[in-house]
Amino acid sequence: MHTSKNSTSLLDYQGIYPCPVCRLGKIKSLSLMEAFGCDCGKNIFTADLEKQLLKMPTMQPPLTWYWNGKCWQRGQLEGREWKWYHWLLVVGFVMLPTALVALSAYIFPATPGSNLSWLPTIWVGLAFLLHLGIVGWLIIEFYQFPFWTYLRVSWRLLLDR
């Protein structure tokens, strides 16, 4: 089998390509199937060789990547793109609770020199970080990015060096 990593080539079932999801594994055709499988993760892909695209059918709508001959172009969800109001909702979800906690800490400040005078500052920071973490977690779940697989393989590659 030839490797498509270093040369410009068309997408076909005989090639081995980098995985567009985990970006660490390789995808190759599965035996007796017109599909690709990643050797690192548990992802299965279907291909449209005429259009040079790869789909992850386990998601609805499926993620799609286009093969340009050297690498995969950005994965898209069919019919779903991030609009300006999605970003507005994300900023509101992160900033509104943080602002409310900060406002309450400003209006009702802790007594200077008390044992817990540091708590309002930590509480504001935690409100921001936790809401930002929720947004990150939702994005990872929506796109079904294999976060733990990526970390495990990255760590293994780092230790092998």
- pLDDT for 31 equals 85
**Mean pLDDT for back-to-back runs of 10 residues, the chain (161 residues):** 56 88 84 86 84 83 84 71 87 97 94 90 97 90 68 76 72
pTM for the full predicted model? 0.58
CA distance 65 to 55: 7
- pLDDT for 123 equals 96
Task: Quickly list DSSP for 70-114.
Answer: SSEEEEEETTB---HHHHHHHHHHHHHHHHHHHHHHHHSPPPTTS
CA distance 96 to 65: 35
Nearest in space to 1 (alpha carbons), one of 36, 24, 28: 28
Q: With 0-12 CB in 10 A as exposed, 13-18 as middle and 19+ as buried, what is 43? A: buried
- pLDDT for 151 equals 75
